């Protein structure tokens, strides 16, 4: 048997996890990420990606008499929006290569590394898909209710939160105060997640200073103004404030519609959202063939189809396939589901304007920048490290082509 070394193993991993193969795996496993267009309509330069935004339009049109003057129009005003690429990194590590080589089981060690890196790719992709729905601040959940014992601050290892979709057992997290700077607890390991009660348990007691409104974030990832996540749908699809440095009040294309349904998710909600979309954007739905998508949580998709199917026939959808909605459509609009999506929201929009932007060679890949090797070896500890990195950003180039549907009756999970 040929001897395996850190160099040969690193090259094997680099070939096995080519960036395009990782991207294909991510898009197949996480269809919401696959909806993001990868072709660029932004220029890379300076501090990031640049693309034009129309802040005022030329509406010089009207019916006029044959001898009348042409209608007065407003000169189109364009600004440059800037999107700064983010660095997304993860590490896989194993120990015991020396023992594996000396015992003649190097191939088994290589297979273990293969499995470890595969799991890292899957975990990173799930986290990235969750970030697509967040607001760019890295908040995985918010402390929502008091403990049944009535205490405002927690003295137990359990917190009740607004949503557990982004929390997983084994995550190491911090608990931040509402000021985004004070860290109440650092390096807490999640030991249990209860989807039914929306509670999360930790490996040690939570400080009594923690209170309603505090945030759970990945450890060391988001304190004060140092959050590094790209701005997701919850931060880009708003009607006021600023987005990418441009004031929404001065740019009609920068304003997104929010529709509070306050009801179960049915076809009437979809139709009302489509009307809002047309009113806000001025784009007729017939102008969006093949681009319009509805993104939501699978449980919301199940509610939608269980309510709609008895009344309307949907091609290719049967009662048996309700939880597998990857090919399902509502009024011709494909439904894309993600367990990382908010449990009481949905997003309807023209995904032509939702784009992933990558620097050259920036797609998720096995990193070789440090010491030129895919496998970084810690000789004194018989430990090998593999880093995965991505240099990219995503952007909604026309927020008014989307509608946020909120306040949906949440399904029991």
Output the DSSP codes for 218-285: ETTS-STT---SPP-HHHHS-SSSEETTEEGGG-GGG--EEEEEEE---HHHHHHHHHHHHHHH---G
pLDDT profile of the chain (413 residues), mean per 10? 59 65 64 62 71 74 85 76 86 72 64 79 86 88 66 59 88 86 87 88 78 86 70 90 86 87 86 85 67 85 73 46 54 81 89 80 78 71 80 86 91 64
Integer Cα distance of 248 and 339 in angstroms:
30
pLDDT value for 153: 43
pLDDT value for 346: 92
Classify 233-354+397-408 by CATH class: alpha beta
- CB neighbours of 122 closer than 8 A, spacing ≥ 6? 29
Q: What phi-psi label fits residue 195: left (phi over 0), alpha (psi between -120 and 50 degrees) or beta?
A: alpha
Q: Would you state the torsion angle of the CA atoms of residues 297, 324, 395, 144, taken in this order, to the nearest 10 degrees?
A: 20
- CB neighbours of 259 closer than 8 A, spacing ≥ 6? 269, 272, 273, 276, 403, 404, 405, 406
Integer Cα distance of 106 and 347 in angstroms:
48
- Domain chopping of the chain, boundaries: 6-58+76-135+356-396, 141-218, 233-354+397-408
* 350, containing H or E segment: strand 346-350
User: What are the backbone angles phi and psi of residue 338, rounded to the nearest 5°?
Assistant: -150, 130
R_g of the chain, CA atoms, integer Å:
24
CATH 3.30.2400 for domain 6-58+76-135+356-396, yes or no, is yes
pLDDT value for 323: 43
Integer Cα distance of 132 and 223 in angstroms:
20
pLDDT value for 302: 81
Integer Cα distance of 19 and 83 in angstroms:
22
pLDDT value for 190: 92
* 295, containing H or E segment: strand 292-296
Q: What phi-psi label fits residue 205: left (phi over 0), alpha (psi between -120 and 50 degrees) or beta?
A: beta
Mode of pairing for the β-strands spanning 402-408 and 257-263: parallel
First to last CA, the chain: 51
Do residues 86 and 48 make contact, with C-beta atoms less than 8 angstroms apart? Answer: no
Do residues 402 and 348 make contact, with C-beta atoms less than 8 angstroms apart? Answer: yes
For 292, 318, 321, 340, 362, the CA distances from 33, given in Å and listed in that order, are: 15, 26, 22, 11, 16
Mark out the alpha helices in 137-226 (DSSP H runs). Answer: none
């Amino acid at each position: 048997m040929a001897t395996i070394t850190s160099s040969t193993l690193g090259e094997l991993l680099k070939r096995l996890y080519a960036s395009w193969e990782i991207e294909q795996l991510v898009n197949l496993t996480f269809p919401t990420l696959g909806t993001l267009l990868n072709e660029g309509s932004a220029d890379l330069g300076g501090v990031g990606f640049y693309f034009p935004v129309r802040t005022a339009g030329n509406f010089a049109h009207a019916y006029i008499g044959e001898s009348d003057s042409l209608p007065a129009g407003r000169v189109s005003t364009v600004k440059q929006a800037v999107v700064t690429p983010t660095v997304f990194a993860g590490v896989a590590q194993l120990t015991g290569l020396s023992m594996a080589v000396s015992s003649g089981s190097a191939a088994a060690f290589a297979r273990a590394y293969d499995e470890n890196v595969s799991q890292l790719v899957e975990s990173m992709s799930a986290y990235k898909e969750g970030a697509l729905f967040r607001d760019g601040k890295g908040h995985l959940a918010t402390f929502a209710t008091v403990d049944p014992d009535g205490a405002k601050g927690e003295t137990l290892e359990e917190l009740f939160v607004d949503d557990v979709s982004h929390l997983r057992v084994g995550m190491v997290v911090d608990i931040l105060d509402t000021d985004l700077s004070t860290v109440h607890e650092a390096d807490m390991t999640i030991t249990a997640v209860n989807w039914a009660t929306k509670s999360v348990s930790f490996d040690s007691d939570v400080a009594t200073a923690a209170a309603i409104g505090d945030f759970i974030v990945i450890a060391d990832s988001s304190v004060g103004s140092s959050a590094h996540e790209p701005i997701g749908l919850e931060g880009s699809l708003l009607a006021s404030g600023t987005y990418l440095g441009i004031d929404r009040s001065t740019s009609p294309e920068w304003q997104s519609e929010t529709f509070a349904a306050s009801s179960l998710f049915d076809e009437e909600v979809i139709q009302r959202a489509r009307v809002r979309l047309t009113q806000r954007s001025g784009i007729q739905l017939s102008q969006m063939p093949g681009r319009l998508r509805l993104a939501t949580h699978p449980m919301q998709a199940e509610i939608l189809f269980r309510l709609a199917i008895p009344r309307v026939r949907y091609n290719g959808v049967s009662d048996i396939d309700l939880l597998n909605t990857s090919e399902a459509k509502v009024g011709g609009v494909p439904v894309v589901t993600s367990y990382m999506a908010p449990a009481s929201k949905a997003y309807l929009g023209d995904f032509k304007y939702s784009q992933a932007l990558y620097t050259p060679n920036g797609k998720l890949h096995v990193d070789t920048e440090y010491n030129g090797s895919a496998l970084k070896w810690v000789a004194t500890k018989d430990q090998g490290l593999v880093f995965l990195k991505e240099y990219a950003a995503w952007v909604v180039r026309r927020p008014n082509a989307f509608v946020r549907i909120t306040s949906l009756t949440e399904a029991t999970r």
